[in-house]
Amino acid sequence: MSSDPHSLRLSRRGFAVALAGAAAMVLPMPALALTVEDARALIDKAVADVNSIIASGQSESAMFGAFEQVFINYADVPVIARSALGPSARTASAGQMAAFTAAYQGYVSRKYGRRFREFIGGSIEVVDAKPLKSYFEVISVATLKGEAPFDLRWHVSDKSGRNLFFNIIIEGVNMLASERTEVGAMLDARGGDIDGLIADLNAV
């Protein structure tokens, strides 16, 4: 583990990856099956974005907006939304599902975007990627100011038609399970009323 707290080397590499990523997004890409390199490249790009936002020196509130955008660009929000809703996704109407997904996207982006603030002054480095069942796991190490480095994993799939991550696991704590518990509790508080849940999500 590098003990260099400034990670200059990292952010320079991150910048190169971000440039490569930007080029890749401009050029039309043939549809290929996801490989371990693609999965790693996606998270490298997302991490480079996060690191460059952290290094940008803009105000915290401006950073929140930028972090939300990272979430929207790189995460499969509709599938995370359905998973969070759990069994009720089956009984919801198509209109309710669309409204729920939109409300949830705002909610989850705000919530996790805000959490990225803890990375200010730190950095994330992708260290490994491997296939796992029908998707890929990209392993990164987050080093925050004055903290022991910790394990941050991303699950990446192309089943949505694009390469996107659908789960983040921080020191064993996985976002999908946590979100299903949370949204389930919010739905219970509304006595199972999805429209009420949607209103609550928009208000958080």
Partner 1 sequence: MTLNIRSAARRKALFVVSSLAVLALPACAPAPQASGINDPHEAANRRFHEVNRAVDRTILRPASKVYAILPQPVERGVENFADNLDTPGDVVNNLLQGRVGPAAQNSLRFATNTIFGIGGLFDTATALGLPGVETDFGETLHVWGVGEGAYIEVPFLGPSTTRDFAGTLVDLAANPVSLAVPQPESNISIVAKAASRLGDRARYSETVESVLYGSADSYAQLRLLYLQNRRFELGQTDGAASDGGNDGFVDPYEDPYVQ
Interaction site with partner 1 (CB under 8 A)? 3, 79-80, 82-83, 85-87, 89-90, 115, 117-118, 132-135, 137, 139, 146, 148, 151, 153, 155, 157, 159, 166-167, 169, 171-174, 176-178, 180-182, 184-186, 188-189
Beta carbon of residue 110, minimum distance to partner 1 (angstroms, whole number): 12
3-state secondary structure of 50: helix
Contact (Cβ atoms closer than 8 angstroms) between residue 162 and residue 41: no
Q: Provide the token pair at 164.
A: 């996107």
For partner 1, the closer CB: 117 or 162 = 117
Sheet of strand 123-132: strand arrangement: 123-132, 135-143, 150-157, 164-170, 173-174
128 CB contacts (<8 Å, ≥6 apart)?
Answer: 138, 139
For partner 1, the closer CB: 37 or 128 = 128
Cβ neighbours, 10 Å, residue 52: 14
For partner 1, the closer CB: 17 or 187 = 187
Q: From its phi and psi, is residue 121 left (phi > 0), alpha (psi between -120 and 50) or beta?
A: left
Q: Can you tell me the distance from the alpha carbon of 30 to that of 18, in angstroms, rounded to the nearest whole number? A: 20
Beta carbon of residue 111, minimum distance to partner 1 (angstroms, whole number): 8
Question: Any idea which residue has 């399970």 for tokens?
Answer: 177
For partner 1, the closer CB: 19 or 177 = 177
Beta carbon of residue 65, minimum distance to partner 1 (angstroms, whole number): 18
- Residue type at 41 in one-letter notation: A
Q: Can you tell me the distance from the alpha carbon of 174 to that of 152, in angstroms, rounded to the nearest whole number? A: 10
For partner 1, the closer CB: 118 or 193 = 118
For partner 1, the closer CB: 45 or 155 = 155
Beta carbon of residue 25, minimum distance to partner 1 (angstroms, whole number): 24
